[in-house]
Each structure stands twice: as structure tokens, then as C-alpha cells.
Structure 1
Amino acid sequence: MTDDLPGPPWQMDWTVEARQDFDAMPADGKQLVLAARAELITAPDPYYRGIDADACLPHWITVRPLASTRPGGSHIADLAGGRGWLVFTFIRRHAEPQITVTDAFWA
């Protein structure tokens, strides 16, 4: 047995409320949210820890902790300069690491 965790692509699940918010978004919002989803599930670390760690992200998405005092807790992916966002938590389990989206918004 190895202590290495499985790598990407990660599983992603949505809370009922976040999924309803996503379903209610206009097409342009859904398109950016799905593109952000693709970036998050294929990233070696969805939290993009470290200096300039999100430099490989497209210019329209930034990822940061929701609370600076909890760098391992919920994170927010700001989309299109704050026009929308996804709040998510990455649970690094041995069996099935998973990203859970708890909030989705598009203005």
C-alpha cells in the first residue's frame, strides 16, 4: 500500500442549492462555470497553493481561500473579474478525493 493520493481528474459534486443556482444561470455564465470546473478537476492541487501557483490559470479565474485564517478550508474561484464565483471545498481523502461546490453565482 502506498501513501500517495490519487491524482486528477478529481470528482466534483454540487450541493442541491449550488446546482439549482447553476441551472438558473444564463448560457454565458454556465459556459464560464463549466470551463472553471474543467480547470479545477484537472489541477494537481485545486487550491493552487504557493506563490504564483495560479499563474497557469486563464486570466479570467483566480482561486483564493474564502477565509485567510483557514487556508485548507473552503476556497472561492472568482470568475470574470468577480462577475461570478464558485465556492468549493477540496476533500483530500485516500479513497475518493472530491471537490464539493457549495455556492455558485453569476451576475
Structure 2
Amino acid sequence: MTSDFMGPPWQADWTKEAEDGRNTLPAAAQAWVDAARAELVTVQDPYFRGIDKAADLPAGMSVEPVQSTRPGGAHVIYFDHGRGWLRYVFTPRTADPQIVIDECIWL
């Protein structure tokens, strides 16, 4: 990332489907979702690029790209030790950078 972009906290938007998925979860799972979202909006690089960048995530959370061949594409943040995840895309625009969460799953 360059200094041309605004820094955290990032704006995070939910698709209707992802928001509905979050709202149907039990309270404990919603707390995990909220914690994962908080990590995304406060980290310097929401794609956690670089060696050991995700090491500061709380226990039970990890991040990886959806496709290893597209490191700048959609990513998944896993929470609750892999029982749930948020799929998201970060758009690092100079004006109004944002995270769009398009899937929220908890098993």
C-alpha cells in the first residue's frame, strides 16, 4: 500500500445477503462476526499481505485469498477456529477506500 491511500479505519459495507446471514446467527456467532469485521476495518492492509502479517489476529482467526492466483482479489477471514467466515473484497481507491463483505457463514 502506498501513502496515497487513506488509512484505517476503513469503511465496510455488507451486501444484503451477507447482512441477512449475519442477522440470523445466534448472539455468540454474531460476536465472532463483529470481532472479525473489527479486525478488517482497523488493520493497515485488509489483505494481510506479507510474511506473518496475520500473526496479530486473535486466536481462532485467519485470512487467505479465495484464489491463490489472485492475491489482490476476494479474501476470506475465518473466525471461531474455522467454523465461520466472511468473504470480502477491499477496494483501495484514493477517495473512499472500502471493504465489501459479500458472504457471512457460520456452521
TM-score range, shorter chain: over 0.9
Cα distance in 1 for partners of 2:57, 2:81 equals 13
Contact 2:66 2:73 in 1 (8 A): yes
CA shift, 1:60, in A, is: 1.1
2:95 is aligned to: 95
1:28-71 deviation digits (Å, cap 9, x = unpaired): 11001001111110000000001111011111110110110100
Cα distance in 1 for partners of 2:59, 2:46 equals 16
Q: What is the number of equivalent residue pairs in this alignment?
A: 105
TM-score, scaled relative to structure 1: 0.95
* Superposed counterparts of 1:33-52, under 5 Å: 33-52=33-52
CA shift, 1:82, in A, is: 1.3
Cα distance in 2 for partners of 1:66, 1:59 equals 21
Cα distance in 2 for partners of 1:18, 1:56 equals 25
1:72 is aligned to: 72
CA shift, 1:84, in A, is: 0.4
Q: Which runs of 5+ in 2 are unaligned?
A: none
Percent identity over the alignment is 50
Give the ranges of 4+ consecutive aligned residues of structure 1 lying more than 3 Å apart after TM superposition. Answer: none
1:56-94 deviation digits (Å, cap 9, x = unpaired): 111111011011010000000011221000000000001
1:82 is aligned to: 82
Of residues 13-22 and 3-12 in structure 1, the stretch that sits farther from structure 2 once superposed is 3-12
